[in-house]
């Protein structure tokens, strides 16, 4: 059952990044008046957003009064040693005991906290989520914004080593190349000569010897 207009309540709603950004500015110098133009300049936002979103939250938390002047609580808010006690004071001032008892840790039980804020405010999912986050931040009471743990880099994939094809020894390769060239080179034509020698029966042994010597000289012997 949704709450009636009389039952609806609003709770602090402010991005945690803006919260710590404003706190850092207060650490440097506490302004005389926290106006929408001051918030727009410090938080890098539009004046309308500062007036409708941030200023109401600062008033609910008692950091500024109705005139926008910082309260003594704002001075303690700057001190890291006082920060947790200041957050506890803000929780008691802005949130009912019903929520504090039902959801002791909004960070560990976001669903229960979201149901409670949705039932009490009638706000949408996005606004309820911001209320839960802010309430959880106050419960933790840490004076610095928590950083999300960095995702460990995945180990680089080892480069695949391409095995180079085994090379034959240079001498063997050269021998193969020479063999292929020799096989492909054109061969010289061979010449076959058939000789028929007619020797007269009257020829003397010296004449026969001269014949064969001339054959050896002019046919078989290269120039």
| Assigned domain for 110 exists | yes
Q: What local confidence, expressed as pLDDT, does residue 214 receive?
A: 73
User: pLDDT tens, position by position, for the chain (223 residues)?
Assistant: 444 443 457 899 899 999 999 999 999 999 999 999 999 999 999 999 999 989 999 999 999 999 999 999 999 999 999 999 999 999 999 999 999 998 989 989 999 999 999 999 999 999 999 999 999 999 999 998 765 544 444 444 444 545 555 555 555 555 666 566 556 555 555 655 666 666 766 667 777 777 777 776 766 555 5
Residue 81 falls inside a structural domain: yes
Taking CA atoms, 101 is separated from 10, 61, 91, 98, in Å, by: 19, 20, 12, 5
Q: Domain span at residue 86?
A: 16-140
Q: Is the residue at 130 inside a domain?
A: yes
Give the pLDDT confidence score for residue 180 in this predicted structure.
62
Is-contact 30 72, C-beta < 8 A?
A: no
Q: How many residues does the chain have?
A: 223
204 domain residue, yes or no = no
Residue pair 141/16 in contact by the 8 Å Cβ criterion: no
Total number of domains constituting the chain = 1
């Amino acid at each position: 059952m949704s709450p009636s207009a009389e039952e609806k309540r609003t709770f602090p709603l402010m991005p945690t990044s803006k919260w710590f950004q404003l706190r850092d500015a207060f650490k440097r110098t506490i302004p005389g008046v926290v106006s929408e133009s001051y918030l727009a300049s410090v938080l890098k936002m539009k004046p309308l957003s500062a007036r409708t979103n941030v200023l109401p939250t600062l008033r609910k938390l008692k950091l500024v009064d109705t005139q926008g002047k910082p309260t003594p609580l704002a001075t303690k808010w700057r001190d890291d040693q006082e920060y947790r006690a200041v957050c506890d004071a803000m929780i008691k001032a802005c949130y009912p005991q019903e929520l504090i008892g039902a959801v002791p840790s909004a960070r560990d039980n976001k669903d229960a906290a979201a149901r409670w804020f949705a039932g009490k405010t009638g706000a949408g999912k996005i606004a309820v989520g911001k209320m839960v986050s802010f309430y959880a931040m106050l419960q933790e009471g840490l004076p610095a914004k928590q950083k999300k743990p960095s995702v460990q880099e995945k180990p680089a994939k080892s480069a695949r080593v391409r095995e180079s094809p085994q090379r034959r020894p240079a001498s063997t390769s050269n021998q193969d190349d020479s063999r292929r060239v020799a096989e492909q080179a054109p061969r010289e034509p061979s010449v076959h000569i058939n000789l028929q020698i007619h020797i007269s029966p009257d020829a003397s042994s010296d004449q026969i010897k001269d014949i064969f010597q001339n054959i050896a000289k002019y046919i078989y012997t290269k120039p």
